[in-house]
Chain A
Amino acid sequence: DARVTQTPRHKVTEMGQEVTMRCQPILGHNTVFWYRQTMMQGLELLAYFRNRAPLDDSGMPKDRFSAEMPDATLATLKIQPSEPRDSAVYFCASGTGTEHEKLFFGSGTQLSVL
């Protein structure tokens, strides 16, 4: 079965360290979403790409977060420097690019910043 792959599954780091999360979308999908899930805020959209171009990253704190797609098979989300309030589960999802597309989610990266 085709699936979205996220690495690492778990990450524990200290405040101030750089964190890089990776996502391999399903082959042939041309939209990629990054969501952050916390108990308090639920699912927040951080960034949204179509054909590797960022369409919307208004939900992402620009001073410390950055999202890129160096190629069609890899999306990255970086936090530098990380802070304890960044602790959350980060999900990547990919889709076929239509407005009513079904999104396929990865299993998430659980990030703990101490």
Chain B
Amino acid sequence: AQSVTQLDSQVPVFEEAPVELRCNYSSSVSVYLFWYVQYPNQGLQLLLKYLSGSTLVKGINGFEAEFNKSQTSFHLRKPSVHISDTAEYFCAVRGGATNKLIFGTGTLLAVQP
């Protein structure tokens, strides 16, 4: 079965600083990897996804993520964050026999002025 681990429950960062949100996954088969963002009182929105090919994936709002198969990681990065990036970020994995989309526990990105 697939699983996703987001080790950081909260990441505080100052505006215009770079940020990395960590995600590790486990799976015995090939999977698809996703990052979703949830703004307060809203549903989740897709930021980016990795299917195959280039290991560096670019998404919306200036975010990008790098797939690292040897480290089973899919960390999310942004070179310069804005106050408006404050939200909960969820890493997710999908694949295998059940094809369920499984989410990590989320990381709250708190951008401070």
Contacts and interface: CB of A to CB of B under 8 A. Distances in A.
Nearest to B42: A107
A108 B100 contact: no
B89 interface: no
A45 B102 contact: yes
Contacts of A43: 90, 103, 106
A15 interface: no
Given A56-B100, A99-B94, A105 B45 contact: yes
Choose among A35, A56, A99 the residue with the greatest number of B CB atoms under 10 Å from its CB.
Answer: A99
A25 interface: no
Contacts of A56: 98, 100
B43 A105 contact: yes
19 contacts: A33-B101, A35-B103, A42-B103, A42-B104, A42-B105, A43-B90, A45-B102, A45-B103, A55-B98, A55-B99, A56-B98, A99-B32, A99-B94, A99-B95, A103-B44, A105-B45, A107-B42, A108-B42, A108-B43
Interface residues of B, number: 22
Interface of B: 32, 36, 41-46, 49, 51, 90, 94-95, 98-106
B43 A106 contact: yes
Nearest to A40: B105
Consensus secondary structure, chain B interface: strand
SS of A interface (majority): strand
Interface of A: 4, 33, 35, 42-43, 45, 48, 55-56, 91, 93, 99-100, 102-103, 105-108
Contacts of A4: 43
B102 to A, nearest CB: 7
B43 A93 contact: yes
A103 B94 CA distance: 12
A40 B98 CA distance: 25
B43 A91 contact: yes
Nearest to A43: B103
Contact of A107 (B36, B43, B102, B103): B43
A103 B103 contact: no
A99 B44 CA distance: 18
